[in-house]
Structure 1
């Protein structure tokens, strides 16, 4: 089925255009004194519609020889031969209908009350020059139809290719996001289990509490890992379990200050976004300080943007590059994959502290 015949409305409009063309052709015959209006219309209207369907068959010619798989010479040969064949077919139909239509018109005139019958054996007088001109016009119209269908098919192929590319990019993005958001540092689990093992003989109550917090953390991690977005409040609750485990490990060395505005709590963010940032703050900051320090997390909404700031102390004598590598780079890459240029993540190393900022567009659950 061609693009024209695939829709009833489109087909009706297409036939209407060719009928208008048939009326124009009949007017040309009348002005050239080749026929009267009645026989001119009887000839031109059916032949115009027939030429329209012949021109529509160009779709199959273009589809059988794909544009990207043929050369210039092949295009010229195929288009030229098919145009000549279509014009010849239409000319033969015109010749036959010119005689047969006159007979039908004569019979209709004989059956009418007036008894008037046409005196000519043909509908339209057809000198050789007129016949050749009609043949050329038909061939030209078919050639134009070929070019239009060629462009149409090329556009369809381009849209299909773009659709396949978009689906491939989406699948690749989903795979990348899935990989990045499940990159939980295994050292956290190993260190937690080692701490539980050590606490078992020294402080059974602390070991039990650490086990429960660790179980709650991983239970909630599994619950959110398959979701595309979760509320910031759920992410903070997950981080609270993580920090509870770390506070048992580090004792009074680790202090936290978490402040989240009510509006920020409802903002949707990718799961497991803040936990790696807090882990980075502890692993590369508080852990190396004898007296420990306070990790702060502040989140608020301003003008349709979510601002998250994480700050932690660092050892002034430590190398500036420590703690700003793969983990944070993976988070930044994940945000770029999900939000593009709408998200921003940056960090600054000061002499005695490390500051991290994340800015995301606000999204809320429907």
Structure 2
């Protein structure tokens, strides 16, 4: 349906605009001496209101030529033809309304050939302006629809991303945990029970947090704690962790489940291969309206057979790009004995 005629506020504004046009025409008639001011108003206002609805057909004329496939010559021919045809309708309305008023002795305006030509030109010009305005209105609607479509695409992409994350939590982690629980049931039932509770707590938290767009760093740290609690039962004293998070960084916002995969990588590609284990250090601080997060873990000088291909880090980098554009960054560095990841995000506080 027509976007103006289907909206009461827009319709009122549209009619007011045409009434202003009618007042301009009445002023022209009064200044040229063709009619008094009151007669000119009585003549022009009803005609422009009716013609306003005729001019609204410009919307459908513009829609008949989609902008994406529009060519210059057909567009000019169509717009000029429609303007001339509508100018004829406008002139017919004006002369017909004047003849009716003359026959009823309301008023009599004698139009000269020049004034008839001016009326016809005014009708053509008003319709052409209506075409251009409706063209602009359609262009704005297209932009708005494109933005809505892009927003929906981002939401769908986020939902797909979260589904992928839930699917990735991590079959290997789940299988290893279940195997550990199975082994512990015969040698340490207390540890098996503790690991079962910790595993359930981790999945409960991960599913709850993944439904949110952003979460406070403190909640992400709590999720990492739950994950480490499970892994520490598996690895024992071999796995240690140190978290150093500033107070302001605790309430900084970030996408959910951003750090947990990095903690998992630190265990899988670092701590697990070391006979003495090591410490995973996570630091969070705020500097100059930026949130800085670093994760560091020791690693073996000799890469194991399970060395990663960096796909997880690349996925996180792409995820940050989708959320923050070029404002966020992730960098990683490997030495012979350590691996570190640094993430920088624009500061957003909860």
Q: TM-score range by the shorter chain?
A: 0.7 to 0.9
- 1:117 aligned partner: none
In 2, distance between residues paired with 1:193 and 1:349?
31
**TM-aligned CA deviation for residue 197 of structure 1:** 2.3
In 2, distance between residues paired with 1:284 and 1:318?
8
- 1:211 aligned partner: 196
**TM-aligned CA deviation for residue 231 of structure 1:** 2.3
**TM-aligned CA deviation for residue 292 of structure 1:** 1.5
- Say whether the 8 Å CA contact 1:23–1:41 is kept in structure 2: no
* Greater shift in the superposed pair: 273-282 or 355-364: 355-364
In 2, distance between residues paired with 1:62 and 1:276?
53
Higher RCO (C-alpha under 8 Å, 6+ residues apart): 1
Correspondent of 1:156 among 126, 138, 141: 141
- Say whether the 8 Å CA contact 1:286–1:314 is kept in structure 2: yes
Q: Given the two structures, how large is their TM-score scaled by the length of structure 1?
A: 0.80
**What CA RMSD, in Å, does the superposition of the two structures yield over aligned residues?**
3.2
- 2:310 aligned partner: 325
- Where in structure 2 are the equivalents of 1:204-353 lying within 5 Å? 204-318=189-303, 322-323=307-308, 325-353=310-338
- Per-residue CA distance 1:168-188 (angstroms, 9 max, x = gap): 343233323442365212111
- 1:3 aligned partner: 4
In 1, distance between residues paired with 2:349 and 2:166?
20
- 1:58 aligned partner: 55
* Greater shift in the superposed pair: 314-323 or 10-19: 314-323
- Say whether the 8 Å CA contact 1:182–1:225 is kept in structure 2: no
- 2:43 aligned partner: 46
- Per-residue CA distance 1:268-301 (angstroms, 9 max, x = gap): 2222222211110111011111222111111122
CA distance 1:46–1:3, change in 2 (3 Å) = farther
- Per-residue CA distance 1:50-104 (angstroms, 9 max, x = gap): 1464255232244155221776676556545543443333333433444554566
**TM-aligned CA deviation for residue 324 of structure 1:** 5.3
Aligned to 1:150, what secondary structure does the other structure show? helix
- Say whether the 8 Å CA contact 1:254–1:294 is kept in structure 2: yes
**TM-aligned CA deviation for residue 351 of structure 1:** 1.4
In 2, distance between residues paired with 1:172 and 1:210?
34
Correspondent of 2:23 among 19, 38, 46: 19
Aligned to 2:240, what secondary structure does the other structure show? strand
- 2:109 aligned partner: 123
What is the number of equivalent residue pairs in this alignment?
Answer: 343
Structure 1 residues without counterparts, runs of 5 or longer:
109-121
In 1, distance between residues paired with 2:3 and 2:253?
47
Aligned to 2:169, what secondary structure does the other structure show? coil
CA distance 1:285–1:2, change in 2 (3 Å) = closer
CA distance 1:199–1:174, change in 2 (3 Å) = closer
Correspondent of 1:171 among 145, 152, 156: 156
In 1, distance between residues paired with 2:159 and 2:26?
56
- Say whether the 8 Å CA contact 2:18–2:48 is kept in structure 1: no
Q: Which has the larger radius of gyration?
A: 1
Q: Given the two structures, how large is their TM-score scaled by the length of structure 2?
A: 0.83
Aligned to 1:67, what secondary structure does the other structure show? coil
- Say whether the 8 Å CA contact 2:15–2:49 is kept in structure 1: no
- Say whether the 8 Å CA contact 1:55–1:145 is kept in structure 2: no
Aligned to 2:291, what secondary structure does the other structure show? strand
